[in-house]
Structure 1
Amino acid sequence: MPDAKAAVLLTAFSGLALLIYAIPGPVKFGPISDRGARPAYADNAMWHCVLFPLVFVLGAAAGLYPLSVLYDHFGATVGLLNFGGLAFCALLYAKGLSRLGLRPSGPDAGSSGKGLLFDYYWGTELYPQLGGVDVKRFVNCRISMTYWMLAGVSFAAAHGRLDPGLVLCAASQFVYLVKFFYWEIGYMRSIDIITDRAGFYETWGCLVWVPSIYTLHTRSMRSGSPLGAIFAVGLLGVAFNFEADLQRQRFRETGGAALVWGRKPIAIEAEYHLARHTSLLLVSGWWGVARHAQYLFELTAEICQQAAWSWGLLAGVGTHGALPLFYAAFLTVLLVHRAIRDEEKCSLKYGAAYAKYKAMVPYKIVPYVF
């Protein structure tokens, strides 16, 4: 159950995130929505990535709280996030339907026509804002991903001793999330943001599911070997995942002019229905190897760098049974399903151009396999 300490922790956590959110940055835009909206974002994620962990560590060093604070109050914190998340999703539901004196933030809002429960689950607004704060960006990135980023550090500190496995796991997890914040604008252009509305699935999932499930392995891990090899493979997965995302991001921002692997990229010009808008589909680099190669590297990074200490090789499964495997299984299903959804969206959006891309790059995720 929630308690006062959890309330103070989450208030301070959210307050610091809001302060950093207000730092100005270059304006970047998301894709144009089906109803013509184009969200704008201040590109200040790296300020958050640097300042938030720094303040967190300095606060612990100053004796304001133990570094293990996220571990110490985990249960009450998740309980409060759960109750608060359910209520917040109800608020977003009302906002998207112009109820309780609230109004949608843009044209992509309204009922799905599938009933109250589905609207609550899926959401009634694509890009909600509250007080000038983009709800999706703040919840998904500045709360959810930040908690996950610091969880490894805090959970490792809770053991009270320097354990090589825990330290390497926390370090590799931290590196993965640094990569995420560097790429945050790319995430704001991904299927999670441009397709999924801000409802229970998206918002409660980031507020409660991510802190609970994505940290499951770090709460039950035990050291094993060979630590160095697993750590190296995990970092390699992060590097390739980062490279794949960066290739596409630079390709789009330069209108196809950026070199990919030292060569002029192969591109397919695709026209879609919004005022005959034209987009370029990258067919070079990792995007010429598989249509969603970044998911393969994300699975490699996630499973090798974070999960191996508890379930991949040795003591985790023996100590805790199959439970720590849940995160890896869930992530695999999530990314495969996301790739299928992305395929459906792109096929509808780009038509013959995407069919041509699929013919040129026949594999979804794993080359020569799937």
Structure 2
Amino acid sequence: MGRANTLTNVVSTFMVLWCPVWVTMNWMSLEYFDGSLPALIKAFWTTDDALSMIWRYLPQASWTASLAYASWLAFQALLYYALPGKTSFGQRTPGGCRHRYEINGAMAWAITHLLFAVAVVQEWLDPAWIAKNWAGLFVAANVYGYLLAVFVFVKGRYAPTNVEDRKFSGSWAYDFWMGLELNPRIGSHFDVKLFHNGRPGIVAWTLIDLSFAAWQYEKFGSVSNSMLIVIVLHTVYTLDFFFNEDWYLKTMDITHDHMGMMLAWGDAVFLPSFYTIQAQYLAYHPVQLSTPAFIALMALGMGAYAAFRASNSEKLHVREADGDTMVWGRPATALRCNYWTADGKEHQSLLLTCDWWSIARHTNYTADLVLAWAMCAPCSGDGLVLPPWTYFIFQFVLLNHRIIRGEESCRNKYGEKWEEYCEIVPWRLIPGIY
């Protein structure tokens, strides 16, 4: 309570208003300005009637797309609730809770894509339908994202799942943006955060890519090898998420970030519209890479993914073994830290100091950034002015923001032990530099 200030209010209000503008600008630039953000900005800057121009270029709602989007949400919710899955438990919350989850995301992804494939093969569905109805789906997702943000805000104030894991800042704007509840639930089973973090957007990610690839084929007669790189790397990334969904329960998204507009609107709109930006761009502007460039970028992306997965798996493995295990042929090393939850109970955690985690404190983020670069590079073009490259810029800012917030949380949680850990592993992201 009471930790918000004027700057917090201003920044939170700005984010609530600006984020939809940002993704809409990306859509406009692709639809009307040949994928050039500078051209879009110049057009708005020089026009005599900006309001009319905005209205003319805004994506339009569609009843067909809105119904399809509502059906999509209902179908994914049904799969989330009804499919069997492995029982897993999240990390202990500050309030002392360990929530139970049924992990079935991989099965939901497989069923969804199988049904999509059958519908396309049987000619019940145009494979490019998503791409052709993208504007209407984009509007429907925005409406839902804001409604969800309002819902979790009201629920957090008046009907929290666990009072001990709810926090107020003293700022309505900040609380709306960052969230009140850590793990809001409807009933005992339906976890609002995990569902929205993992289902409507991430399951759709590869479907959206495939639809824009089909649209590229329909317009140009072939699918570019740059599109293939994007689809392969995105598919690997999404499958990694679902095959390691129990690991995701231990990440910052679940253990630290409260459910506000940042996650609610972000999961509904930002993830499916922004994380697929490369496929959207290539559907308009196919890039055919040379064979050496194709091989190099694919290898770089897969290598970065391998490092990302290996580092995360190592952390999970060592913690599950309570440090009593081998990694890279040597005994694992870690710093043991005690901490206390809000219920007054003492617990212990491990901060790894071996192998991947001896290189930097966030080696997984380093690999994630290299992978993000490999996803954007196939789009080629004029560099950072293109919408696809805004994904890499966003990832760089996001991951550094997470580093700062995460390390502040660890400093408060572990005290002197955290300072000792930073002396053992001095680099955050890039050894010798940062």
Normalising by structure 1, what TM-score? 0.92
Deviations 1:233-258 (A, max 9, x none): 10111111011111111122222233
Counterpart residue number, 2:32 = none
CA distance in 2, matches of 1:111, 1:277: 21
CA distance in 1, matches of 2:253, 2:395: 14
- 1:120 pairs with 2:176: yes
* Paired residues of 2:144 and 2:268 also in contact (CA < 8 A): no
Q: 3-state DSSP class of the match of 1:96?
A: helix
Q: CA deviation at 1:111?
A: 5.7
- 1:168 pairs with 2:224: no
* Paired residues of 2:87 and 2:103 also in contact (CA < 8 A): yes
Counterpart residue number, 2:428 = 364
CA distance 1:64–1:129, change in 2 (3 Å): farther
Q: CA deviation at 1:109?
A: 5.3
CA distance 1:31–1:109, change in 2 (3 Å): closer
Letter in 2 for 1:93: F
CA distance in 2, matches of 1:89, 1:343: 27
CA distance 1:169–1:264, change in 2 (3 Å): same
Identify which of 208, 213, 217 aligns with 1:151.
208
Counterpart residue number, 2:330 = 263
Identify which of 376, 385, 389 aligns with 1:307.
376
Aligned residue runs from structure 1 range 60-79, under 5 A: 60-79=120-139
Unmatched 5+ residue regions in structure 1?
none
Deviations 1:22-41 (A, max 9, x none): 32223211121111222211
Q: 3-state DSSP class of the match of 2:351?
A: strand
Counterpart residue number, 1:97 = 157
Q: CA deviation at 1:17?
A: 1.9
Counterpart residue number, 1:327 = 391
Normalising by structure 2, what TM-score? 0.79
Counterpart residue number, 2:63 = 4
CA distance in 2, matches of 1:33, 1:350: 15
CA distance 1:280–1:239, change in 2 (3 Å): same
Counterpart residue number, 2:41 = none
- 1:182 pairs with 2:246: no
Q: CA deviation at 1:116?
A: 2.3
* Paired residues of 1:150 and 1:174 also in contact (CA < 8 A): no
Moved more, 12-21 or 169-178: 12-21
* Paired residues of 1:37 and 1:107 also in contact (CA < 8 A): no
* Paired residues of 1:108 and 1:125 also in contact (CA < 8 A): no
Letter in 2 for 1:273: W
RMSD: 1.8
CA distance 1:258–1:49, change in 2 (3 Å): farther
* Paired residues of 2:93 and 2:255 also in contact (CA < 8 A): yes
Moved more, 111-120 or 65-74: 111-120
CA distance 1:197–1:108, change in 2 (3 Å): farther
Instruction: Give the % identical residues.
Output: 29
For CA contacts below 8 A with separation 6 or more, give which structure has more relative contact order: 2
Q: 3-state DSSP class of the match of 2:350?
A: strand
Aligned residue runs from structure 1 range 1-370, under 5 A: 1-21=60-80, 22-98=82-158, 103-108=159-164, 110=166, 112-131=168-187, 132-160=189-217, 161-221=222-282, 222-223=286-287, 224-225=289-290, 226-274=293-341, 275-304=345-374, 306-310=375-379, 314=380, 316-317=381-382, 321-370=385-434
Letter in 2 for 1:243: A
Q: 3-state DSSP class of the match of 1:2?
A: coil
CA distance in 2, matches of 1:327, 1:285: 29
